[in-house]
Amino acid sequence: EFCKGVNGLDKVILRESRGSSAEVYLYGAHVTSWKNDHGEELLFLSSKAVFKPPKAIRGGIPICFPQFGGLGTLDQHGFARNRLWSVDDDPPPFPTNTLSKAFVDLILKTSEEDSKNWPHSFEYRLRIALGPGGDLMLTSRIRNTNSEGKPFSFTFAYHTYFSVSDISEVRVEGLETLDYLDNLQNKERFTEQGDALTFESEVDKIYLSTPTKIAIIDHEKKRTFVVRKDGLPDAVVWNPWDKKAKAMSDFGDDEYKHMLCVEAAAIEKPITLKPGEEWKGRLELSAVPSSYCSGQ
């Protein structure tokens, strides 16, 4: 279902027969809402989010491409999150998603403007699908369409903002004992100790070589988010906490208590594509009552 969202921006609403739903803005190919079959919102979206190009929408799932972070002349987190994507009328076959009837295919191609800062030729196809149980699946396919034999490299993240009841009641499992780069300490490398992660101050870490499954356990809500990923070895964990929250104009002062970003990513080792080559990166999110997860 296509309709108009905030400020007249085009959006697509996906509905699955048991009642779950998702909303996707063509601006940024940005998922702004994902609801379970009880109509409960599972993603965080700031009440101060700006739905106006060229600002990226604060919350949901921004796509960071062709760069995670803010190196060089490219925009922070790349340009994909603040470009207008098109509906892809001729998508390639997606064998793993054939069960889903609720999906949309979007495409972003090289533009003249973007090739000034990033002189490469690409086609980025993104399928966003709701599974029969309400799972949200994002499949990215990025192809080098350069005809002159020039390879390109990129870094990437699905910058997912999860909605949580209270950040101090949240635990993340699957990242303990791993190495990470700490963005708050000049990207220095450390090793995570001990138990599952808990949160009591600002965090901005890039965990390296992470497992394909990460769990975010919200004790108060009795809900566990399960992140499954493929082709995305790294995982960023970010919460701005109070001081950074106050410094962001599109983020409420106290909203940090109700969100946590866990971002499936490829950052430490950039992906390189030769002409004609394609990369695939998949994210699958589910939200289940915590009591259903053994041992959690």
- Give φ, ψ of 290 to 5 degrees: -55, -35
Task: For the segment 128-167, give every residue that binds ligand BG6 (CB under 6 A).
Answer: 159
Q: How far apart are CA 230 and CA 160, in angstroms?
A: 15
Q: Which of 16, 23, 77, 159 is labelled catalytic?
A: 159
Q: Which residue is nearest to ligand BG6 (CB)?
A: 238
Q: Determine which residue in the list 7, 47, 76, 185 makes contact with ligand BG6, applying CB under 6 A.
A: 76
Q: Per CB under 6 A, does 30 bind ligand BG6? A: no
For ligand BG6, what does the binding mask look like between residues 40 and 59, x meaning CB under 6 A?
----------------x---
Residue 77 among the catalytic residues: no
Give the residue with the Cβ less far from ligand BG6, 125 or 159: 159
Instruction: Consult the annotation and say whether 171 binds a ligand.
Output: no
Instruction: Consult the annotation and say whether 67 binds a ligand.
Output: no
Residue 263 among the catalytic residues: yes
Q: Per CB under 6 A, does 75 bind ligand BG6? A: no
Q: Per CB under 6 A, does 204 bind ligand BG6? A: yes
Q: Per CB under 6 A, does 238 bind ligand BG6? A: yes
Smallest distance, ligand BG6 to C-beta of residue 155, A: 11
Half-sphere exposure of 172 (CA within 13 A, CB side): 28
Smallest distance, ligand BG6 to C-beta of residue 56, A: 6
Give the residue with the Cβ less far from ligand BG6, 61 or 129: 61
Q: Per CB under 6 A, does 236 bind ligand BG6? A: yes
Give the residue with the Cβ less far from ligand BG6, 88 or 268: 268
Instruction: Consult the annotation and say whether 15 binds a ligand.
Output: no
**Catalytic residue numbers?**
159, 263
Residue set of the binding site for substrate: 58, 76, 81
Binding site for ligand BG6 (CB under 6 A): 56, 76-77, 159, 183, 204, 236, 238, 261, 263
